[in-house]
Amino acid sequence: MSSTPWDFIAKLVCIGDSGCGKSSLTIRLCEGRFSPHHDVTIGVEFGSRIVPVGPPHSKPAPAPKSITTTDDADSDTLSQGLPEPPRDTSKTPQKHMKLSLWDTAGQETYKSVTRSYFRGASGALLVFDLSRKQTFEHVTDWLNDLRQIAEPDIVVILVGNKADLTQQANNKREVTRQEAEEWAKRNGVMEYVETSAKSGENVEMAFMRVADRIYQNIQAGKYDLNDRRSGVKGPSAGGNRQVRLAAEASKAITGGCC
């Protein structure tokens, strides 16, 4: 039995233009908080979070049974309300994955530095700001940079952040959901998710979608868990991996948001 609280480590990078909220997404996932003011990220910053992957966590819930509403229905049946949530009876041990999150600088000045952190990544969140069309127009360049350096099987999800700005009376949306979804399909990106680091909306779901797909790839044998370039490690390599990650993170100049 593993002595670590996780079964796999996966390296994820958050990429995109400066000011899109990449650091805020990472902080929201890792610390469960939002700070409206951050310094600009210089180089990279590091965070981590252990999440459940695979069954029983990802086991689809069965459709709820309909409640009889005929005139002669038993009153006790009607008073039962919603059915109990499904319970896992398979006794399948839950697997856990430690997400090593690398929040990269979005400024052009630091691109040569941030590109080096694309190597060995198994997943990426490609982030743009829903209230700034220009940041969406740049995601193609970011994706091209990523695919030139990262492994071919890297899992990429497109994230439209700052959804809270589109839900106000003065809607600031400059990119439609249809535009983003069509771009994701054209460019072979797994899916599109709209998030708000401020409210927490869909933040955990976005990271979990990437983690679950990486787990599926592990099960399909797409990674060599003993090869650091694959971006995924098993528990046997955990100790050295954690030390190396911490050492690299300490070299980055800390900053804040994006």
Identify whether 245 is part of a domain: no
CA separation for the pair 35, 75 (Å, rounded)? 51
Nearest-angstrom CA–CA distance, 85 and 42: 45
Query: Are 19 and 131 within 8 A, CB to CB?
Result: no
How does pLDDT run along the chain (258 residues), one tens digit per residue? 456 799 999 999 999 998 899 989 999 999 899 877 655 544 467 889 999 999 888 765 444 444 444 444 454 444 455 566 565 556 778 999 999 999 876 555 556 666 788 889 999 999 999 999 999 999 999 999 999 999 888 999 999 999 999 988 889 999 999 999 999 999 999 999 999 999 999 999 999 999 999 999 999 999 888 887 788 998 765 444 333 333 344 334 344 444
Q: Is residue 76 part of a domain?
A: no
The predicted structure's pLDDT at residue 37: 62
- Whose tokens are 């030390």? That residue is 243
Residue 191 forms part of a structural domain: yes
pLDDT at residue 79 in the model: 43
84 in any annotated domain: no
Distance CA 250, CA 258 (A): 18
Q: Is the residue at 256 inside a domain?
A: no
Residue 249 lies in a domain: no
| CATH value at residue 142 | 3.40.50.300
CA-CA-CA-CA dihedral for 204, 210, 211, 212, to nearest 10: 100
Alpha carbon 38 to chain centroid, angstroms? 21
Q: Is 1 part of a structural domain of the chain?
A: no
For residue 34, tell me if it sits in a domain: yes
Domain count, the chain: 1
Burial class (CB in 10 A: 0-12, 13-18, 19+), 233: buried
Query: By the 8 A CB rule, do 46 and 100 touch?
Result: yes
* Residues spanned by the domain of 124: 8-59+94-235
Q: What is the pLDDT of residue 140?
A: 97
